[in-house]
Amino acid sequence: MDLLRFAAVGSVDDGKSTLIGRLLHDTKQLFDDQLEAVEAASRRRGVDGIDLSFVTDGLRAEREQGITIDVAYRYAATPTRKFVIADCPGHVQYTRNMATGASTADLALVVVDAPKGLREQTRRHVCIAALLGVRHLVVAANKMDRVGWDETAYRAVVEEMAHLASRLGLATCVVIPVSALHGDNVAVRGGSAPWYGGPTVLEALEAAPSGAWAGAHGDHRGSLARLPVQWVLRRPGGGRSYAGMVNGGSFRLGDRVVVLPGGQTSTVSGLRTVDTPMEEAPVGLSVSLDLADDLDVSRGDLVAGVAGAPEVVTELTATVCWFAARPLAVGDQYRVKHTTRVTPGRVTSVDRRLDVNDLRLDDARSLGENDIGTVTIEVASPLAVDPYRRNRITGSFVLIDPVTNATVAAGMVGLPELAAPDPGT
């Protein structure tokens, strides 16, 4: 059975939590006591019936305000597939939490208030999800009951989403007319949309391409062997093993490898998944690796196959999502955490800011809270990086405030790729 990680994204009040609650409820993923607790909480707040958003909105402040503040993770399984669900907040103030939830997702479930159409925050979320490497969208055109299942409301969402998906280079985009409130077309068919012959949300989630993140931590098809060293294990009787997770490709006994950023080469002479010897270490597993030569290797180094080894850089050209209230500007210093290495970094230029409404990169000198933009960062010690679109682990980093230790930005190596708008739009 395979695993799909997906994130529910979209603007505040468009119904993400209600949809996730509905999906879990209608697929019998809720325990009796959890359902009773949600019913009791609904009664206490004078809700007529049951407010399924309380399934994931578990914090006191969330229930008081009827909004989602931080990501809730839920685990579900149907006969064909396991799901890890990240129910993300829609509020612009909590964009950083949405990015947290989407960073490990294979697919985004985009919830749109169909009568109102796409909003700036919907577009921002879809842009962030796409930049974070999500390639597949399932779009719930929600609240169709409010407009009497009027096909024109649905068509408007289809058109806008198709345009957005093609500009962002997404692989698939399925748009489904639903009512999360009544459960129509969520797990079971319903509503009055004789004009719609496509899948329900559940069917679309079960049919979506399987999880590249969960299975491989990055789209591993064609990815190259990468192992960031986490920890050096000393073997009894001498010798060292280098422990870490295989974050790309695979390693086999006898493979020629290079240790970066130093550049020493050697041969893989031993592989273990923790304790069991193995011939080949596949992507996604935590293993320890022995080298035939006695090299100086420590935490933060990257072991890679000699063919197609990553580039070693002292300057990162990157796309960042900025999370702090204080703007990001040239000259600012942060700690850069990339794989298992932490090094000081200085912003040497802020180049562009993404206009999420027009999908246009404008010139910029600084980035404000929740902006997406492109920057260059000079780092104090060299980093072995891949372009993010080739590897989600060796191509990503975060910026950490050296004083407060707050994580202030998510960074992706490389520049965003936006397709030219279709002529006539």
Partner 1 sequence: MTTTLDTPSTPGHPAGGGRSPLSGFPGNRPIGLRPVDHLDLLEAHAVFILREVAAECERPVLLFSGGKDSAVLLRLAEKAFRPGRLPFPVMHVDTGHNFPEVLDFRDRRIEEMGEELLVASVQDAIDAGRVADPGPNGMRNRLQTTALLDAIRAHEFDACIGGARRDEDKARAKERVLSFRDSFGQWDPKQQRPELWQLYSGTVRPGESLRAFPLSDWTELDIWQYIAREQLALPSIYFAHRRPVIERGGMLLAASSWVSAGPGETARDETVRFRTVGDATCTGAILSEATTVAQIIRETAASRVSERGATRADDRLSETSMEDRKREGYF
Q: In the range 329-348, which residues lie near partner 1 by CB under 8 A?
A: 335, 337, 340
Contacts of partner 1 in 188-227 (CB under 8 A):
214-215, 217
| Token duo for residue 187 | 């797990």
How near is the Cβ of 93 to partner 1 at its closest, in Å? 10
Beta strands in 178-301 (DSSP E): 226-228, 231-234, 240-245, 250-252, 256-260, 264-273, 276-277, 280-282, 286-291
Q: 254 vs 227, 267, 270, CA distance in Å? A: 16, 6, 9
Residue 63: enclosing H or E segment and its boundaries? helix 60-65
Q: Is 423 buried (19+), middle (13-18) or exposed (0-12) by CB count in 10 A?
A: exposed
Task: Out of 171, 231, 326, 362, name the contact with partner 1 by CB under 8 A.
Answer: 231
The nearer residue to partner 1, 101 or 305, going by C-beta atoms, is 101
How near is the Cβ of 286 to partner 1 at its closest, in Å? 4
Beta bridge partners of 6: 85, 107
The nearer residue to partner 1, 158 or 225, going by C-beta atoms, is 225
Distance separating alpha carbons of residues 341 and 335, to the nearest angstrom: 10
Residue 322: enclosing H or E segment and its boundaries? strand 311-322
The nearer residue to partner 1, 274 or 329, going by C-beta atoms, is 274
Q: 84 vs 178, 221, 282, 380, 416, CA distance in Å? A: 22, 22, 22, 37, 27
The nearer residue to partner 1, 70 or 371, going by C-beta atoms, is 70
Residue whose C-alpha is closest to residue 394's, from 341, 329, 331? 341
How near is the Cβ of 310 to partner 1 at its closest, in Å? 16
The answer to whether residues 128 and 168 touch, using CB atoms and an 8 Å cutoff, is: no
Q: Is 151 buried (19+), middle (13-18) or exposed (0-12) by CB count in 10 A?
A: middle
Contacts of partner 1 in 232-291 (CB under 8 A):
233-236, 243-245, 273-282, 284-286
How near is the Cβ of 179 to partner 1 at its closest, in Å? 25
Contacts of partner 1 in 62-101 (CB under 8 A):
63, 69-75, 82, 84, 96-97, 99-100
The nearer residue to partner 1, 38 or 144, going by C-beta atoms, is 38
Give the x-and-dash track for 140-179 against partner 1 (CB under 8 A): ----------------------------------------
- The stretch near partner 1 (CB under 8 A) out of 16-24, 156-164, 358-366, 397-405 is 397-405
How near is the Cβ of 325 to partner 1 at its closest, in Å? 12
Residue 340: enclosing H or E segment and its boundaries? none
How near is the Cβ of 39 to partner 1 at its closest, in Å? 12
The answer to whether residues 115 and 178 touch, using CB atoms and an 8 Å cutoff, is: no
Q: 179 vs 184, 190, 400, CA distance in Å? A: 5, 9, 41
Contacts of partner 1 in 398-417 (CB under 8 A):
398, 400, 405-407, 410
How near is the Cβ of 259 to partner 1 at its closest, in Å? 18
Task: Out of 46, 48, 49, 60, name the contact with partner 1 by CB under 8 A.
Answer: 60
Answer yes or no whether residue 56 interacts with partner 1 by CB under 8 A. Answer: yes
Contacts of partner 1 in 284-303 (CB under 8 A):
284-286, 299
